[in-house]
């Protein structure tokens, strides 16, 4: 990756990692001994590939990333994958691209799971945090994916 795309991604990464919430997340991971969180600058370099490096979806061509999955969503095999940002969901809904089908559950006013159709593609069960900043989501999801990977998930309140 080079040029304008790399510059834009680096600017976004710099913006999000220069927030108080991200610094708290980094300090937590560093204190807990997360192997990539040795220094702040080294960790930022690691995060560039971790979030924006591409991988293959379902044995297809390389072209997806963790950022795409979580923050913008992706379509695969007729279903919506990822799409865990309320900001992206809200923008798509305001543009008339979301058809909400109902909710499964909510956790206080913090998070919820629900069903919807994004344009013509169905999301059987998805969810996100409510009203959080993208920098907060990025920080929390970084902690969760690095410190608490797997099906047990990350517990927070």
Give the residue numbers marked as catalytic.
69, 84, 123
Q: C-alpha distances in angstroms, 114 versus 14, 24, 143?
A: 32, 30, 24
Q: Tell me how far apart the alpha carbons of residues 100 and 81 are, in angstroms, rounded to a whole number.
A: 16
Instruction: Give the chain's end-to-end CA distance (angstroms, integer).
Output: 37
Pairing of strands 111-118, 54-56: unpaired
Instruction: Give whole-number Cα distances, 25 to 93, 100, 114, 134, in Å.
Output: 30, 33, 28, 14
> For the sheet containing 74-76, what is the strand order?
74-76, 79-81, 121-129, 111-118, 98-107
């Amino acid at each position: 990756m080079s040029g304008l795309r790399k510059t834009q991604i680096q600017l976004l990464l710099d913006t999000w990692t220069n927030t108080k919430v991200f610094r708290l997340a980094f300090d937590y991971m560093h204190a807990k001994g997360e192997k990539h969180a040795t220094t702040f600058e080294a960790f930022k370099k690691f995060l560039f590939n971790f979030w924006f490096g591409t991988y293959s979806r379902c044995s297809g061509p390389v072209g997806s990333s963790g950022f795409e999955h979580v923050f913008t969503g992706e379509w695969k095999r007729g279903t919506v994958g990822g799409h865990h940002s309320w900001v992206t969901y809200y923008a798509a809904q305001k543009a008339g691209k979301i058809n909400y089908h109902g909710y499964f559950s909510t956790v206080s006013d913090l998070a919820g799971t629900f069903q919807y159709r994004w344009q013509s593609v169905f999301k059987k069960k998805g969810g996100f945090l409510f009203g959080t900043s993208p920098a907060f989501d990025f920080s929390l999801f970084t902690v969760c994916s690095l410190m608490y990977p797997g099906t047990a998930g990350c517990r927070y309140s």
